[in-house]
């Protein structure tokens, strides 16, 4: 039997984290089993479905690399088949015409509520004899079609939760075709899944209550029953159902924030699935190999933005520099444009040598968690000048006059070509300056980092010095000293004022 799975989003919003994870689990299962992955857009809610949402879902899947074998198919396109299936149920006696009006049903529900008892459809139209039912329909009385639910427990072996069962009497006869002729959700899903010969239905836990009804429909339609697997919910760190409040966004928003598709996929896979050992970083091939549905956890997964950042950082570090160069250039170009400048003005030579850019990316890629953060680390190696991050200034340039003096001393030592012979020499020079000043190495290294990078973090400072080269280091130190002198003067004035 070929594994045939589907992802069946409703195009009423963007592809969010939960949907993307459901898509991923289906895709991984299909790829691991040599099966078929199909996309069905459940667009029967005409009022809420939007073509731009369908497009966003397609773009999201595309960005993540979850390629389709079939589809997209549109549920609304199957409405005639859904109706035919509903009428087949009527013909076979699995469904009956229900003439109860919405008002009557509402009144009975209200009465049940007053009486403090639960409401369930009492099956009265199911007891009409065939002739009466037919005659009333014939006379033009509107009716819905309702499925006759047998008085027995309905269960299945869930791929994730194990044995599941709904006791007899917990489901009342339910509508499959409304009196206006529109098919009900559960019928459309079963009709479509049966038609597409879906072998495994893997979807969110929120559909568990639909499953017994769908199983009844499969049986009544005489269609082979697929296996069902219900993936636990994703919760925010506060234990509440995941929402925007927890920092969860549409999948494409993560792309725009500079996450890599590999990082996002890896993160999504670990939301509720575990390989059973302590491996965390997976590339796509590794996921396909390691994934198995029965290792999807039964308890809900917790969305942890910090973990996404960490994993994404691991993927950035593991990416070849040539792959990262393109987005880095794009980010710096966009920044230049925002400032009304060209990239050649803000970052001369960034595009001059692919090898040099690759070497710098290799040097800095260990720490950044997103592409913009990576670009921020690459930038100082090519920038015409650096902007000092206020936070770094506050932390490491607290005493401007003294820091200016330390940087002047460093500048003097680092003016020598010989200091740049290798990283060891650079280290000896910098430490030598600290020793002569009688301060710990950190007291010169941290301010030096701010001068070179404009920020408080960087790779090892001696490697940074070597990669920047003598000329750029000299210019950076001069600029920093000038900045600090102005600060020192302002401070002196403030004291005398």
Q: Least distance in Å: CB of 203 to ligand GLU?
A: 4
Whether residue 68 contacts residue 38, with contact meaning beta carbons closer than 8 Å, is answered with: yes
Residue number, 123 or 204, with CB nearest to ligand GLU: 204
Residue recorded with tokens 């089993």: 33
Q: Which of 213, 244, 307, 398 is flagged as catalytic?
A: 244
Q: Least distance in Å: CB of 9 to ligand GLU?
A: 5
Q: Both tokens of residue 221?
A: 């339609």
Q: Least distance in Å: CB of 8 to ligand GLU?
A: 4
Residue number, 200 or 376, with CB nearest to ligand GLU: 200
Residue number, 20 or 445, with CB nearest to ligand GLU: 20
Whether residue 208 contacts residue 156, with contact meaning beta carbons closer than 8 Å, is answered with: no
Contacts of 273 (CB under 8 A, 6+ apart): 25, 291, 295, 296, 297
**Burial readout 47-81 (b: 16 or more C-beta within 10 A, e: otherwise):** eebeeebbebbbbbbebbebebeebbbbbeebeee
Q: Which residue is nearest to ligand GLU (CB)?
A: 203
Residue number, 8 or 393, with CB nearest to ligand GLU: 8
Q: Least distance in Å: CB of 55 to ligand GLU?
A: 16
Residue number, 9 or 321, with CB nearest to ligand GLU: 9
Residue number, 42 or 85, with CB nearest to ligand GLU: 42
Residue number, 44 or 312, with CB nearest to ligand GLU: 44
Whether residue 313 contacts residue 280, with contact meaning beta carbons closer than 8 Å, is answered with: no
What is the rounded distance in angstroms from the CA atom of residue 209 to the CA atom of residue 217?
14
Q: Least distance in Å: CB of 179 to ligand GLU?
A: 23
Q: Least distance in Å: CB of 75 to ligand GLU?
A: 8
At residue 330's C-alpha, the angle toward residues 327 and 335, to 5°, is 130
Q: Least distance in Å: CB of 47 to ligand GLU?
A: 15
244 catalytic per annotation: yes
Interface residues toward ligand GLU, by CB under 6 A: 8-10, 42, 189, 203, 207
The residues annotated as belonging to the active site are: 244
């Amino acid at each position: 039997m070929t594994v045939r799975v589907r992802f069946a989003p409703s195009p009423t919003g963007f592809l969010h984290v939960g949907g993307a994870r459901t898509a991923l689990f289906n895709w991984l299962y299909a790829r691991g089993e040599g099966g078929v992955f199909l996309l069905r857009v459940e667009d029967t809610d005409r009022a809420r479905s939007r073509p731009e949402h369908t497009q966003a879902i397609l773009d999201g899947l595309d960005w993540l690399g979850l390629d389709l074998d079939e589809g997209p198919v549109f549920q609304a396109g199957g409405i005639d088949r859904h109706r035919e299936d509903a009428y087949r149920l009527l013909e076979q006696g699995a469904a009956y015409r229900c003439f109860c009006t919405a008002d009557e049903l509402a009144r009975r529900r209200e009465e049940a509520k007053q009486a403090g008892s639960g409401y369930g459809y009492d099956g009265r139209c199911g007891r009409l004899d065939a002739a009466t039912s037919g005659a009333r329909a014939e006379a033009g009385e509107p009716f819905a079609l309702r499925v006759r639910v047998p008085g027995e427990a309905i269960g299945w072996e869930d791929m994730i939760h194990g044995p599941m069962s709904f006791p007899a009497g917990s489901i009342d006869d339910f509508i499959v075709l409304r009196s206006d002729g529109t098919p009900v959700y559960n019928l459309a899903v079963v009709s479509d899944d049966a038609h597409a010969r879906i072998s495994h239905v893997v979807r969110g836990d929120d559909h568990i209550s639909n499953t017994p009804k769908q199983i009844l429909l499969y049986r009544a339609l005489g269609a082979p029953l697929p296996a069902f697997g219900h993936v636990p919910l994703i919760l925010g760190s506060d234990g509440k159902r995941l929402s925007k409040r927890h920092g969860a966004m549409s999948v494409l928003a993560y792309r725009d924030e500079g996450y890599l598709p590999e990082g996002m996929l890896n993160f999504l896979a670990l939301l509720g699935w575990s390989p059973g050992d302590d491996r965390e970083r997976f590339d796509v091939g590794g996921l396909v190999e390691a994934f198995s549905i029965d290792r999807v956890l039964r308890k809900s997964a917790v969305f942890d933005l910090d973990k996404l950042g960490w994993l994404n950082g691991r993927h950035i570090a593991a990416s070849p520099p040539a792959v990262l160069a393109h987005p880095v250039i794009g980010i710096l170009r966009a920044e230049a444009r925002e400032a009304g400048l060209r990239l050649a003005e803000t970052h001369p030579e960034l595009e001059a040598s692919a090898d040099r850019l690759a070497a710098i990316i290799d040097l800095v890629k260990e720490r950044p968690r997103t592409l913009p953060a990576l670009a921020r680390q690459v930038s100082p190696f090519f920038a015409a000048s650096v902007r000092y991050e206020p936070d770094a200034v506050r932390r490491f340039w607290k005493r401007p006059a003294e820091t200016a003096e330390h940087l002047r001393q460093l500048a003097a030592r680092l003016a020598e070509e010989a200091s740049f012979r290798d990283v060891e020499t650079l280290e000896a020079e910098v430490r030598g300056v600290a020793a002569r000043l009688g301060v710990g190495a950190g007291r010169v290294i941290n301010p030096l980092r701010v001068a070179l990078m404009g920020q408080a973090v960087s790779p090892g400072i001696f490697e940074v010095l070597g990669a920047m080269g003598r000329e750029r280091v000299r210019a950076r130190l001069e600029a920093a000293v000038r900045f600090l002198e102005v600060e020192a003067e302002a401070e002196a004035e403030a004291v005398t004022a």
